Chain A
Amino acid sequence: MLDQALTDFPPRRRERLAATKNALKRILRDPLGAIGLTLVVLAVVSAVFAGVLTNYDPNRISPMVRFAPASLQHLLGTDHLGRDLFARMLFGGRIALSVAVGATAGSLIMGMVLGLIAGYGPRWLDNILLLIFDGAKSFPTVMLALTLVTLSGPSLLAVVFVVVLVSVPGYARIIRTQTLVMRSAEHVIAARSMGASTGRILRVHILPNIVGPILILASMDVPSVVAIEAGLSFLGLGVRPPTASWGTILNDGFSNIRDSYWILIAGGLPIVLTTLGFTFLGETLRDVFDVRLRERS
């Protein structure tokens, strides 16, 4: 392609490694970033290695040890059915993180496509899309979620769909604004004059320049995705029992709130730590890498 010269020369592997190292150092220098990164790594590792970290089956019922407090045998105690809460917490993390990753990736992709269309396409299409974004954003999130789940029946897919529906407008709007800025940037005009196709301009000349800040925003949105999944599961409208999710554990704890508080700890503590971790990390990433986003808060 003629416009090849306009794209950045791809950095060599060693340079890229050095850049990553440097970035990591800058994140860790901020105490908030260090805490955030630690918590996020902890959440991911405990979800991935859930099977290795515990010998208990998260759904195995043992009536002999109902409401056992925390001990060396049961690190976080057991619930009203004698299930090991530590195991349930670990496996619940798998649900939370996979919903977070799946839903965030889905919303990012859809938001990018719609945002690029709105920003680069014809004016009338832009106006229609903007109205649709506003319309979709005008529903109160939880009420919309409850309605959709009532209509479709409780499932993880419904949860993911709700998250995508409520977060796409936000991403699409930001991508649109950035695309509008980029579309009259000199290198894009140059590429167009050399005859690059629209697809190539979007893919090679625009997208790489706007994707960084969006990824940071996405990492800051993980907590709200975790909250929606856990919240719906808490109401019995997300993951179905007996599957362990932080929300269903909280529900078990809430039903037995006068008997034991450790069920609530096993369900709530991971939610608190994960949401804090991603938020702290996202804030630090934003401060370190992106000046433009700073005004948004």
Chain B
Amino acid sequence: MTPEMFRYTLKRLWLGVIIVSLAMMMLFAMIYLIPGDPASVALGPRATPAMVEALRARMGLDQPIWMQFVHFYGSALRGDLGTEVLSGRPVLTVVMEQLPFTLALIGGGISWSVLLGIPLGCMAAVKRGGFVDRVVGVLSVAVIAVPSFVVAIYSLLIFAVALEWLPAIGAGEPGNLSSQLEHLILPSLAVGIGWVGYIARMVRASMLETLEASHIRTARAFGLTDRRITYSYALRIAILPTVTVLGIGIGQMLSSAVFAEIVFARPGIGKLVYEAISVRNYPIVTGALLVTTILFVFINVLADVVIGVLDSRVRSSFN
């Protein structure tokens, strides 16, 4: 790693830390400002004032606000996000148990979007203005527009309930990879389909730009085939913007994953939070938000670093 690259990485990381702290401050402010007391929310309407008071003291809500914030921030730094109200288990453990399921789902979504989006974008760019280009154009706008949870519900209805091609609920037997993959197909399609559209459009746009470049013209002058030029020379450069966008994409797929998990009754962060809401298990909700936010911010940092490695122009513009 060159010193320049190292400095750039450090700077991005530092910015990530600042953004996460800021997000935590906002989260804290929201918890504080929103009417309704966390203790009475957690206990429900039938709690006596004495019970509420006792829980407030245990949660530290009777202390001055700045003390609460320092406490909140300090314990989050130590990885202590509080304990679950019902079972008394640490929130971080509960959330981390569910995280792999959600990450697998997002991974599936990325696979769909990359495997479909890149070839579609290339095909559209190569025959610019042709039939394929127009169909891909309209379709990618359409899949971006339609909300992912509607896709999830309809794909469940069509492929699992009506046609019975694929399983409807759960994540598959533990340890049985093929069953797990089978259970992943529909939910990950719902998570990734919007990004098929984004990636197809991005690849198309940057491909059109790259195909004008002089080294491509040279390759063409040497008589290389169109296919060879597109896929092994132009794509290598045209794919760069996709990497950064995928960083943002993972954050949005996290949102879609919440719905996909609930619709397909899969374990994961979304289902965890959804179930926590119905029993007012409030530390789980904020803890999961914090974990996913940190994840999202650092994935974006990672995407920036990767793009910095791939493209020296980005690096210098940041310094």
Contacts and interface: CB of A to CB of B under 8 A. Distances in A.
Interface of A: 32, 131-132, 134-136, 138-144, 146-153, 223-224, 226-227, 230-231, 234-235, 237, 250, 253-254, 257-258, 261, 264, 268, 271-272, 275-276, 278-280, 283, 297
Nearest to B250: A140
Nearest to B20: A138
Given A151-B36, A153-B36, A143 B153 contact: no
Interface in B121-150: 138, 141-142, 144-147, 149-150
Interface string B268-284: 01100110110010100
Interface of B: 18-20, 22-23, 25-27, 30-31, 34-36, 38, 41, 138, 141-142, 144-147, 149-150, 153-154, 156-157, 161-162, 201, 205, 251-252, 254-256, 258-259, 262-263, 269-270, 273-274, 276-277, 280, 282, 285-286, 288-289, 292-293, 296-297, 300
Contacts of B258: 142-143, 146
A146 B285 contact: yes
A283 B142 CA distance: 11
Given A234-B149, A268-B153, A275-B145, A139 B259 contact: no
Contacts of B31: 151
B23 A264 contact: no
A142 to B, nearest CB: 4
Contacts of A136: 23, 26
B149 A231 contact: yes
27 contacts: A132-B26, A135-B26, A136-B23, A138-B22, A139-B23, A141-B255, A142-B270, A143-B255, A143-B258, A143-B269, A143-B273, A143-B292, A146-B277, A146-B289, A150-B276, A150-B280, A151-B31, A151-B34, A151-B41, A224-B147, A230-B147, A237-B277, A254-B153, A258-B161, A272-B146, A283-B141, A297-B205
Contacts of B161: 257-258
A111 to B, nearest CB: 17
A286 to B, nearest CB: 11
A143 B292 CA distance: 8
A227 B288 contact: no
B16 to A, nearest CB: 9
A175 B270 CA distance: 34
Contacts of A134: 19, 22
Contacts of A226: 147
Given A147-B289, A148-B30, 4 more contacts: A138-B300, A139-B26, A150-B277, A152-B34
B30 A151 contact: yes
Contacts of B162: 261
Contacts of B141: 32, 279-280, 283
A3 B273 CA distance: 57
A143 B150 contact: no
